[in-house]
Chains A and B, each alone.
Chain A
């Protein structure tokens, strides 16, 4: 089955602490992986994608094909990081294109 799993619905950390939002996927081909973020009262927007190997707002994510994971990490959480985070994948198998989102993790950064 093709799916994206985010095991934590809610993750609370203190400001300045490291944060890791977990994402595991199951996909038969070679997917592209993304992290999207939705801040309060704002639109869902792209945070980063694995192909770019970029760091956005201090966040990084490494694709681990062996573990089929794409965890999102930041060494020092800030209060403004509080938001809903969605892991997603896209890919094409047997001519069918799929874009699959996880159920999301709400990150709360406490002062």
Chain B
């Protein structure tokens, strides 16, 4: 694939419903990152994966948020019982490797805009 892809591009949901956001990283990239981009809040780190494991989950805002990655490729970010404050653009990025100035340049997807009514 040419780059990181994310689906859906837009998601509107009602408060209290669960949502799943998908990320397809660049083939061969072992590291995958999730961020949240809110107006006035900049880029908020959520979680990153090295392969299928997530060594750093410190950015997840609450236990309603979870993420998994299977086969060292596709990742899913799940938000349970969505709240209005979850409304944001969720960005996914991948890098060849974490660590190292060349290898860990991040390539971003187009994002998923989540709106919770």
Contact = CB atoms under 8 A, between A and B. Distances in A.
Interface residues of B, number: 27
B102 A51 contact: yes
A65 interface: no
Interface stretch (B13-21, B64-72, B104-112): B104-112
Most buried by B among A43, A45, A104: A43
Interface in B31-71: 33, 35, 40-43, 45, 48, 50, 55-56
A9 B33 CA distance: 24
Interface residues of A, number: 25
Nearest to B100: A32
Given A45-B108, A98-B56, A103 B42 contact: yes
Nearest to B91: A44
A49 interface: yes
Contacts of B42: 6, 86, 101-104
Given A43-B110, A51-B102, A90-B104, A97 B43 contact: no
B101 interface: yes
